[in-house]
């Protein structure tokens, strides 16, 4: 055996021994999550960045103004795993059973979808905490992520800041995450939000009684949770008598709006009990831009659809306006929906 091959065998053997040692484990997602690129700034309080990928409910990849990238682990929170097995014992009161684990997996999927809905493509403010570590063992930045949803008031039980809502706290308050037991300055507020979510049986805390009241990851009819803090939006911005809602609007796309029309969008929902046939309904703004839902398009109960301003291939949950420039006015505008020339829904912001 030559020297290089022998060394390789020894290295493999050492790794094998280490992998069996207590306390040594490598989660697939965390192993592949990257740290900062070489030119990444030393992120401090108030550093802004654009979210380029939502890895899961509590991990995102961002790009800084200089083009460098980083992976951010949301400080102080832990959402259920979606790419690995969950340990129910980490979630107070959730039974350590197959049903409990399956329920947590469904809750983790919902947390990831919620994070994508609010953070994907968004400009966020990263806030580090002197009381906590700056990076974890995977070299991910540990930070509070502040985001400012357009047109939405901050719920009374959540913290508003000059640069938006503390999204980490929002995950806890809506029952999509537990508080990660660690040292950080905002822990008291997070624990209070967690206690409230637990008392209300909100979100993942419904997994304490899996298999009842839709706690298996559905609302009892096979649809995703649409109650108990697990709907895509905590409350619609506007609702029509037909059940059509405006769940969210992102009017200010990252960078130059006209060069990034798909970065602005409106999320519509159906909170009615029946399917909503939207074919031919018209969406317009106050400036005279208009879009018609394709013929035959329908939105089922509890479903949402994102209408992006730019171009792309329509799917069941994403539609494209087809504009080569921005539509929604950053300073203020109105989302108007008409059916047969009559206004059925209007939401003004600004």
Render pLDDT for 50-108 as a digit per residue (tens, 0 to 9).
999 999 999 999 999 999 999 999 999 999 998 889 999 999 999 999 999 989 998 99
Predicted confidence at residue 44, as pLDDT, reads 65
3-state SS string for 42-105: CCCCCEEEEEEEEEECCEEEEECCCCCEEEEEECCEECCCCCCCCCHHHCCCCCCCHHHHHHHH
**Average pLDDT of span 103-128:** 89
User: What confidence tens digit (pLDDT) does each residue in 222-245 have?
Assistant: 334 433 333 444 456 788 888 899
Predicted confidence at residue 299, as pLDDT, reads 94
Q: How many CA atoms lie within 13 A of 38 on its CB side?
A: 0
Tell me the C-alpha distance between 26 and 218, whole Å.
Answer: 31
Looking only at the bridges linking them, the beta strands covering 69-74 and 141-147 are parallel
Q: Tell me the CATH architecture of domain 31-208.
A: Beta Barrel (2.40)
Percentage of the chain exceeding pLDDT 90: 49
The least confident of 3-17, 140-154, 247-261, 295-309 is 3-17
Q: Is the dihedral of CA 273, 275, 277, 282 positive or negative?
A: positive
**What ranges do the domains of the chain cover?**
31-208, 238-349
Q: Tokens 């209300």 — which residue?
A: 200
The least confident of 30-34, 76-80, 101-105, 136-140 is 30-34
Highest CATH level, class, for 238-349: mainly beta
Predicted confidence at residue 335, as pLDDT, reads 94
Phi/psi at 189 (nearest 5 deg)?
A: -65, -40
User: Residue 172's closest CA among 181, 163, 164?
Assistant: 181
Tell me the C-alpha distance between 211 and 192, whole Å.
Answer: 27
Predicted confidence at residue 59, as pLDDT, reads 96
Tell me the C-alpha distance between 87 and 216, whole Å.
Answer: 16
Looking only at the bridges linking them, the beta strands covering 47-56 and 59-63 are antiparallel
User: What confidence tens digit (pLDDT) does each residue in 185-222 have?
Assistant: 999 999 999 999 898 888 899 999 876 544 444 333 23
Q: Which of 106-115, 136-145, 193-202 shows the highest mean pLDDT?
A: 136-145
Query: Which structure tokens are listed for 289?
Result: 């831009």
Predicted confidence at residue 69, as pLDDT, reads 94
Q: Is the dihedral of CA 82, 24, 143, 52 positive or negative?
A: negative
Q: Which of 6-15, 104-113, 283-292 shows the highest mean pLDDT?
A: 283-292
How confident is residue 33, by pLDDT bands cut at 50, 70 and 90? low
């Amino acid at each position: 055996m030559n020297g290089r091959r022998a060394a390789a065998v020894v290295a493999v053997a050492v790794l094998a021994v280490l992998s069996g040692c207590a306390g040594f484990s490598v989660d697939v997602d965390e192993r592949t999550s990257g740290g900062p690129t070489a030119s990444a700034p030393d992120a401090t309080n108030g550093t802004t960045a654009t979210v380029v990928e939502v890895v899961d409910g509590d991990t995102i990849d961002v790009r800084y103004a200089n083009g460098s990238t980083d992976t951010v682990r949301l400080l102080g929170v832990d959402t259920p795993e979606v790419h690995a097995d969950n340990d129910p014992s980490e979630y107070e009161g959730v039974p350590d059973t197959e049903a409990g684990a399956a329920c947590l997996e469904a809750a983790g999927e919902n947390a990831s979808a919620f994070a994508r809905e609010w953070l994907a493509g968004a400009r966020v403010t990263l806030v580090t905490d002197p009381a906590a570590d700056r990076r974890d063992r995977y070299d991910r930045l540990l930070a509070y992520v502040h985001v400012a949803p357009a047109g939405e008031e901050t719920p009374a039980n959540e913290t508003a800041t000059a640069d938006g809502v503390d999204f980490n706290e929002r995950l806890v308050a809506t029952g999509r995450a537990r508080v990660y037991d660690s040292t950080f300055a905002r822990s008291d507020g997070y624990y209070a939000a967690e206690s409230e979510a637990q008392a209300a049986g909100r979100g993942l805390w419904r997994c304490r009684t899996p298999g009842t009241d839709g706690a298996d990851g559905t609302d009892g009819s096979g649809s995703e949770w649409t109650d108990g803090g697990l709907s895509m939006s905590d409350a619609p911005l506007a609702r029509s008598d037909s059940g059509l809602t405006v769940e969210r609007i992102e009017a200010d796309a990252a960078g130059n709006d006209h060069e990034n029309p798909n970065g602005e969008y409106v999320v519509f929902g159906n909170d009615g009990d029946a399917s909503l046939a939207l074919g031919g309904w018209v969406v317009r703004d106050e400036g005279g831009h208009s879009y018609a839902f394709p013929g035959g398009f329908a939105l089922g109960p509890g479903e949402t659809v994102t209408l992006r301003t730019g171009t792309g291939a329509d799917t069941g949950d994403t539609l494209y306006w087809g504009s080569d420039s921005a539509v929604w006015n950053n300073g203020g505008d109105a989302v108007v929906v008409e059916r047969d020339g009559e206004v059925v829904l209007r939401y003004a912001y600004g």
